Amino acid sequence: MLSFRRMRREDRDEMVRCLSKVKTRMCESAYATYFLWDVKYRFEIDFSDGFLFIRYYEDGERSYLIPVGEGDFIAAMDKLIEYCETNREPLRLGYVPKEYMEIIRDNYPNEFEFTENRDSSEYLYLSEKMISLSGKKLHGKRNFVNRFLKTYEGRWSFEHITPDNIGEIMEYDRHWFRDNRSSEGDLETERLVINKLLKNMDYLGSVGGILRLDGKIIGFSIGTPICDDTIDVQIEKAEWEIPGAYQMLTNQFAKEFCSKYTYINREEDMGIEGLRQSKLSYDPYMILMKYTGVRKVVSCCMMDVGHPCLSNRD
């Protein structure tokens, strides 16, 4: 029987081993996601038969992620179903990749109801295109970058984030938060995540850069590898009132840090319309769709008669 507990720092190596077996290129495949966002989701984990089981809390409900690891995925799912039946709780699956949604639906016919979670689906881009900004669809981005280069020639710089400038970034982020409090999204939690990320970049293998104008920070961006061919851009902030600042930051980050990766994951739009349009305007290679699944309540599952529902599909 599974036995969940709070995740600990010393769980990293085993979590990374299990997460590496899932090649979705989504941020849920990266240890950094759990380390950083534990402040919001209060992740609890268990390791069993080569699989990592994760549950979390969101909007007052407890949900589970799909089991990840090496071995029999359906056997791991059976174990999770049995756990929820024994504890008489509904099984809610969050952030399910499309390919796993289809596997679950095929192996548990009529047991799960899935709904598309478009707001949490992630945008995947080709690194080469984000570096070159080539093609008709990205001509607007090229124009912004070229205009920035011409307008601020000799006045801008891009530098790596190091221990020497982290304090300056934190101060910039405090001002950014103050000036953007009315923006959509959970900025309070985001600030906590940014501070934790800045303090643990070496631990997580993260990279980042600062865009300056006349010596002053006007933007910064941080990313962490998800797998061998994909890097996740977790944080990107710049000054909206400076035309081209965001486009320049995005392009410089890609040039400096992303050439060795095939893909750049720029995460979800959270249902924020302006953010969605911005992400779509960069011509994504693919949108990594996610789904929410709820196991339908069957009366036998909630009775002390063993677990007949596990064998119903045989």
Q: By mean pLDDT, which of 9-13, 168-172, 179-183, 288-292 is the weakest?
A: 179-183
Query: What confidence score (pLDDT) does residue 180 get?
Result: 79
Q: How far is CA 30 from the centre of its chain?
A: 8
Query: What confidence score (pLDDT) does residue 38 get?
Result: 97
187-199 and 166-179 are packed helices; what angle lies between their axes, rounded to 10 degrees? 180
Average pLDDT of the residues in 88-97: 97
Burial 71-87 (b: 16+ CB within 10 A, else e): eebeebbbbbbbbbbee
Query: What confidence score (pLDDT) does residue 43 get?
Result: 98
Domain with CATH 3.40.630.30 in the chain: 5-117+290-311, 122-288
pLDDT at 179 over 90: no
Tokens 């993260």, residue located = 206
What homologous superfamily is domain 5-117+290-311 in, according to CATH?
Gcn5-related N-acetyltransferase (GNAT) (3.40.630.30)
Query: What confidence score (pLDDT) does residue 306 get?
Result: 40
How far apart are the C-alpha atoms of 17 and 15, rounded to whole Å?
5
Distances (CA, A) of 261 to 124, 128, 231, 238: 12, 9, 7, 24
CATH class of 122-288: alpha beta
**Band of the pLDDT at 41, cuts 50, 70, 90?**
very high
pLDDT at 300 over 70: no
Query: What confidence score (pLDDT) does residue 184 get?
Result: 62
DSSP characters for 203-259? Answer: HHT-EEEEEEETTEEEEEEEEEEEETTEEEEEEEEE-TTSTTHHHHHHHHHHHHH-T
Q: Taking a C-beta distance cutoff of 8 angstroms, is the pair 38, 189 a contact?
A: no
pLDDT 10s digits, 182-215: 566 688 899 999 999 999 999 999 999 999 999 9
The model's pTM is: 0.92
For all residues of the chain together, what is the average pLDDT? 93
Average pLDDT of the residues in 132-139: 97
pLDDT 10s digits, 42-84: 999 999 999 999 999 998 899 999 999 999 999 999 999 999 9
Strand pairing category for 263-265 and 230-238: parallel
Query: What confidence score (pLDDT) does residue 122 get?
Result: 98
Query: What confidence score (pLDDT) does residue 301 get?
Result: 45
Query: What confidence score (pLDDT) does residue 302 get?
Result: 43
257: exposed, middle or buried (Cβ count in 10 Å: 0-12, 13-18, 19+): buried
**Band of the pLDDT at 307, cuts 50, 70, 90?**
very low
pLDDT at 298 over 80: no
